[in-house]
A and B are shown apart, each in its own frame.
Chain A
């Protein structure tokens, strides 16, 4: 009897070991390094206590990065989750012929499987002021006064990057919602039809409440993703112009590898860890209360 109970643990053990060695120990090491001053190639570490953290809270660039990440999260919620849900409802409704549904689903979904670096490079070209497509289209339809140096202007750069992200991931979130909507039993809708509900009433009072759990999941994915963002910003502007598009991820990278301040970068890493942990914790709490 005893041997039967050991088996599962013995199987789990190697993976557990890998996770501890490659995830948990580095996180603890990161905490440790955040109390030092050092560079990636230095031979000595200098203990500085809480100086890195004190510096972070007085650092303008850190707050710029935090604001950018928050902006990213809010806009992603509105566009990816909000519009993703609307698109999903539209595609599952009677407005779209069943034959066309697969076609539209593929079109919306394909951007999310393209590598982020490729998308970033493509959009860099789209946003180029003189020969880019965006300014070109604006000129052709007579809106040339709206043309901008999208990535070269501190006021528009961050929004341009966020816009690119929405284009890429709306389809992915939409697919998740489509799966959730397809799980809603047909008889709920039939009952509503008998009561004489319109399409919009069905959407608001049936579909949206029924996909509440998926809404929570996608909200968490987008918000935590917004705080971990790196590649999009790094490839498109490396945090420029000035420091207007810095996000926590790129600021960490810059401190570590450009400013030769590994200790400071570790401190930023610790803060990212806390922010994403708190967000995950809140998610778990909300989803648990939702189950009651």
Chain B
């Protein structure tokens, strides 16, 4: 009997010990380890799809070859999931050393929690700062400290089918009223004026963001977009939503059930005449288009009775930041500098059609006519206005996102929608005080 009891206790102890060990093993793996003298940098980006995926694979491989003591551990997560995953990862001790971030409020919220490495002093060394476009560094700067470096600059423009315009005797509209007339003409000829896929509501947010900027006075908008002072009571916001409503009859049907990528296909195959796209998408259109597809781009027309700024371009740079808890800041900065630098930038324009934050990064040898057109539009805009959903605090942004789908489907009025936004803004304001 004694033997049986002893065996029982020994076996149970084995079960307990193995279960404890299985929980421990993940902790002993260090994130950036020094292994055989090699330093591992964890790198996270948001492009598991082409063309950026292969491009970044190449960049990492080239860097590892040039720097044999560095190993880059690269991972990628797609757009919508990235916004959620990064928030969880940053709450753990396992944060990647170099990772992707949108600029503006999206990054600022992490800066406020001390999760992002301050790059200001590194930028002032060796003239790094002077090689970058200042307008593209501003959205990555908070309280005079810069935290991120742009990897892609972006602006929102209307892509349009030049052949359809020519065949119907249409000119590029410069004012919003002219734009509506163009749409009406197209619709009367049986052509869908605007391709629009709003199943992921950021597509509509881009329209609303631009309209807010053009209709609402700049100082009012700046006050409302800040979490601590946001009220959204200016009638201009309702006006902006009403102008958006004027566009709805000219969208393709069922826009809330179609994704942005699907809508783009109907632009590229000529079913729709125009589409509001990011300049980043030039490469993706060129991949899809037939050889005889003729298209160009124009900026969002001026809203002549709007009180806001008509010249700024809606868009925001996207880039990379370094974790504040990185164990290898020097190596991380070196990789970041390479990733966003001139050598990679020239290849980036050629392979993906995306422009990075460096000055003079494109020329006729590495960029085709569309990319150069996009670059000119970005460079000639005196300033940019960021995407509404990365510029606002999370709760107000999410309220805007879900309500714009209702607005598009005709399930809510502009006045009622702004009332909901005002309620959330009030909650946020009282939360920060």
Contacts and interface: CB of A to CB of B under 8 A. Distances in A.
Interface in B366-408: 394-395, 398, 402-403, 405-406, 408
Contact of B12 (A11, A41, A239): A11
Nearest to A237: B199
A29 interface: no
A233 to B, nearest CB: 14
Interface residues of B, number: 43
Main secondary structure of the interface of A (DSSP, over half): loop
Interface string A218-249: 00000000000000000001111111000000
Contacts of B255: 152
Nearest to B23: A21
B431 A149 contact: no
Contacts of A259: 394-395, 398
A240 B12 contact: no
B254 A241 contact: no
B158 to A, nearest CB: 23
Contacts of B411: 154, 241-242
A209 B110 CA distance: 60
A30 to B, nearest CB: 16
Interface in B83-98: 83-84, 87-88, 90-91
A152 B90 contact: no
B409 A241 contact: yes
A14 B405 contact: no
Contacts of A289: none
Contacts of B5: 3, 6-7
B257 A43 contact: no
Nearest to B87: A40
Contacts of A10: 8-9, 12
A41 B115 contact: yes
Nearest to B200: A238
Interface in A1-22: 3-4, 6-7, 10-11, 13-14, 17-18
B109 interface: yes
Given A149-B253, A240-B201, A259-B398, 18 more contacts: A10-B9, A10-B12, A13-B16, A14-B12, A37-B431, A39-B109, A40-B90, A41-B90, A42-B113, A129-B254, A130-B254, A130-B258, A152-B257, A238-B80, A241-B402, A242-B402, A258-B83, A260-B87
Interface of B: 1-2, 4-5, 8-9, 11-12, 15-16, 19, 80, 83-84, 87-88, 90-91, 109-110, 113-115, 199, 201, 253-258, 394-395, 398, 402-403, 405-406, 408-409, 411-412, 431
